[in-house]
Amino acid sequence: MEDFRTVGARLRTWGRWGPDDERGTLNHITPERLAAAAALVRHGRSFDLSIRLGRDGPQLPGGLRVNPVHLMSATGRESTYPGGVGIADDYLVLPLQAATQWDALAHIQYDGLLYNGVPAAAVTADGAARNSAEALGPVAGAAVLLDVARAVGTDALDDGFVISPELLDATAERQGVRVQPGDIVLVRTGQLRRFREGGAAAYAGNEPGLGLACCAWLAERDVAAVASDNHGIEVLPGEDPDQFLPVHAVLVRDMGMPLGEIWHLDDLAADCAADGVYRFFLSAPALRVAGGVGTPVTPHAIK
């Protein structure tokens, strides 16, 4: 396997959209492409691609992240206002990447640099001064589901299963769909079913996912962003034990591509298999988290 630095140098987009750009490959979603994507809404069927935010989420104790903590600051019964009105209110405390989310372009660094040559020192204890979640701006446009699990005839790919460019091509051909410039690509591995059926212990850890060669596949097609139902986009354990998260390194740091993780794709996939339509409108705006290196998201696919 190639070293990710070699791949990253070959696919790097720094400066393509100007020296101050912080949106990366989302720039492939031009106004013309966004307007054309609206025509993909034909029936009004909408699919929520998020999992719920709760204490029973996909994070294991002792890890980098915890599951969301929901706290009630008022139930509405503590006091009443004139006329007998009570107000319930609450808080949500969570890592920004605890559930369905986007990785922002400040999420990954190596050799002291972030996307577009921004010094890694731009990320401090106060957050990311550059390449933050807020900088992603609106995320909406045409999307394509590549149901890899269904294409190989399984409910869920095995941990360590490497998704290759050839398999992405074969899946698209089987579905009769073509990935076009500016598309957001959703890759279904089937792994999220393990979380729903067995909780975090069945979901965390190793996973099927994209191999390093898929970075070039995404770059050649001018893909705007990629998301998956696994928890880390790329295959784990990795293809080379001496390289840590090489797909993240190339896609986020070198290409400037936001990564969507822990997306619920099963209901959408079933509908696509039923009607044969794997291309649709997607709305998945990032929260405007000042300085955030990731953001929760509630994506909606609309057909």
> How far is residue 103's CA from residue 226's CA, in Å, rounded to a whole number?
10
Is residue 70 assigned to a domain?
no
Is residue 87 assigned to a domain?
no
Coil, strand or helix at 178: coil
Please give the DSSP secondary-structure letter assigned to residue 251: I
What pLDDT is stored for residue 117 in this prediction? 98
**Do 55 and 68 form a contact (C-beta atoms < 8 A)?**
yes
Is residue 55 assigned to a domain?
yes
User: What are residue 60's phi and psi, to 5 degrees?
Assistant: -90, 150
Tokens describing residue 249: 């390194």
Is residue 144 assigned to a domain?
yes
What pLDDT is stored for residue 83 in this prediction? 87
Is residue 146 assigned to a domain?
yes
> How far is residue 90's CA from residue 237's CA, in Å, rounded to a whole number?
39
What pLDDT is stored for residue 143 in this prediction? 98
Is residue 77 assigned to a domain?
no
| Structural domains counted in the chain | 1
Q: Which residue shows structure tokens 């400037």?
A: 256
What pLDDT is stored for residue 108 in this prediction? 98
Is residue 238 assigned to a domain?
yes
Note the pTM of the prediction, 2 decimals.
Answer: 0.96
Nearest Cα residue to 20 out of 109, 147, 139, 114: 114
Return the ∠ at Cα 239 (arms to 237 and 241), rounded to 5°: 70
Q: What is the CATH number of the domain that holds 43?
A: 3.50.30.50
Residue numbers of the domain that contains 257: 4-60+97-302
Is residue 51 assigned to a domain?
yes
Within 8 A by CB and 6+ apart from 242, the residues are none
What pLDDT is stored for residue 100 in this prediction? 98
Nearest Cα residue to 261 out of 126, 59, 7: 59
What pLDDT is stored for residue 279 in this prediction? 98
Residue stretches of the chain with pLDDT short of 70: none
**Do 8 and 216 form a contact (C-beta atoms < 8 A)?**
no
What pLDDT is stored for residue 84 in this prediction? 87
Q: Bridge partners of 142?
A: 281
Coil, strand or helix at 102: strand
CA distances in angstroms from 301 to 87, 106, 134, 178, 223, listed in the order given? 34, 26, 22, 18, 17
